[in-house]
Amino acid sequence: MIEHPKAEELVEAVAKWIDSVRPNLPPRDAFLARVAVNVLGVVGRELTLGPAAEANAVRRLSALLGQEGDFQALNAQLCEAIRDGEMDVETPGLLAALKANITEQIAIDQPNYSSVRPTT
C-alpha cells in the first residue's frame, strides 16, 4: 500500500485546511465546518486505531462465545444470545468484554468523552 502519504495524513491535511478557512465562514457553515473537522478526526483515528480495536474485539468475543468468526458474525451471535436471555449482566466475563470493546471504540469516536461509574 502507498505510504507516502498515508491515508491518515491526507485526512489530517484536509482537516487542517477546513480549520484554516473556518473563521471566514458564516455562523451556520462555521459550525458545520467544525463538525466536518470532527468527522475527519474520527476517520483518522479509525484508520490508525481501528484494525487493532477490531482484532481485539474479535478475540474477546471469540473467548466469550467459544466460537471462531469475523466481527460481524460474532457480534450478531452475541446480540442474539442476549436477546434470547442466554446471557445477561450476571454472565461471567460479559460486561468486562463489552467494556473493553466499547473503551476502544470510544477512543476512536470521542477520545475526550468522560464517563464514570456512579458511586452509590
Region near other proteins per CB under 8 A, out of 6-14, 19-27, 33-41, 48-56: 33-41
For the chain, what's the residue count?
A: 120
Sign, Cα dihedral of 2, 8, 10, 11: positive
Pick the piece of the chain touching other proteins (CB under 8 A) from 6-14, 19-27, 48-56, 102-110: 102-110
Tell me how far the alpha carbon of residue 83 is from its chain's centroid: 23
Cell, residue 3 = 505510504
For residue 13, the minimal CB distance to other proteins (Å) is 18
Backbone angles phi and psi of 89, in degrees to 5: -60, -20
The answer to the question of residue 114 lying near other proteins (CB under 8 A) is yes
> Of the listed pieces 6-14, 19-27, 48-56, 106-114, which binds other proteins according to CB under 8 A?
106-114
What is the spatial distance between Cα 55 and Cα 70, in angstroms, rounded to a whole number? 9
Alpha helices in 22-70 (DSSP H): 27-65
Name which of residues 44 to 73 contact other proteins (CB under 8 A).
Answer: none
The site for other proteins (CB under 8 A) is made up of 32, 35-36, 38-39, 42, 75-76, 78-79, 82-83, 85, 87-89, 94-95, 98-99, 102-103, 105-106, 109-110, 112-118, 120
